[in-house]
Chain A
Amino acid sequence: MSAPTLYGLCAAALVGIGLFGLILHPTPLRKVISFNLVGCGAFLFFGIAARRGAGAGFAGDPIPQALVITGIVVAFAATALAVALILRMLEAGASTVDAKPLPPDDLSP
């Protein structure tokens, strides 16, 4: 088995594991982490595509590599936004997953 194929199977497993965590965990932060796992697996597929498309003197096709860099940036931005949303939701008194709602705090004037 060649290295790209091995990493390709690893990417498939990462997506599977992330998907499982996404369904399994009721709390939003754990869902965000699981979703990032799915993202890591998806990015790794681009790595396989890049390595398999090696040619013209490059060890990997630069186009998928560039796309992954863009993807990692956007995934980070999305994670930061999601985390900010979760924290704000809890501050605003949204109910936590398996417990009673927190008393609404007096942040808004």
Chain B
Amino acid sequence: MPEFLYAAAALVLLLTGLGLMRMLWGPSPADRLMAAQLLGTGGGAIALLIAIASGTMAIIDIALTLALLAAFAAVALTLGEPGTKTRAGEGEQ
């Protein structure tokens, strides 16, 4: 069973890695961020597969952290929109 799970982890890595092509192609920042989102989910899946395959349950906590912070980059992206101004508007005329 561990061999199968390791192979599955490698395959998920390969697939999410291919998805990273979207980070290179774009065209919009949203597309690039989607690659990061896919990697976050895929990374969680890889961590879970390796945790069970190797019997290291502590690795599950990595997937837990990734899951909690998965939406974080997407939220932060909306901060970076052109024309967004902070409330104080300092230094931005």
Interface residues of A (CB under 8 A from B): 87, 90-91, 105, 107
Mostly, the A contact residues are helix
Contacts of A107 in B (CB 8 A): 90-91
* Sample of 6 further A-B pairs with CB below 8 A, known A87-B91, A90-B91, A107-B90: A91-B90, A91-B91, A105-B90, A105-B91, A105-B93, A107-B91
Q: Closest residue of chain B to A103, judged by CB?
A: B93
**Chain B residues with a Cβ closer than 8 Å to the other chain, count:** 3
B contact set with A: CB distance below 8 Å: 90-91, 93
* Chain B interface helix/strand/loop/mixed: loop
- Assembled-state Cα–Cα distance A19/B91 (Å): 31
Tell me the nearest residue of chain A to B90, going by C-beta: A91
How many angstroms between the C-alpha atoms of A66 and B93 in the bound complex? 45
Q: Enumerate chain B residues within 8 angstroms of A90, measured Cβ to Cβ.
A: 91
CB distance from A95 to the nearest CB of B (A): 14
**For the complex, what is the distance from the CA of A90 to the CA of B93, rounded to whole Å?**
12
Question: Which B residues are in CB contact (< 8 Å) with A105?
Answer: 90-91, 93
Provide 9 A-B residue pairs closer than 8 Å at the C-beta atoms, listed in order of the A residue.
Answer: A87-B91, A90-B91, A91-B90, A91-B91, A105-B90, A105-B91, A105-B93, A107-B90, A107-B91
Distance between Cα atoms of A91 and B91 in the complex (Å): 5
Docked complex Cα distance between A105 and B92 (Å): 9
Please give me the residue from chain A that is nearest to B93 by CB atom: A105
Chain A residues with CB under 8 Å of B90's CB are 91, 105, 107
Closest B residue to A87 by beta carbon equals: B91
B89 to A: closest C-beta gap in Å: 10
CA distance A5 to B85 in the complex (A): 47
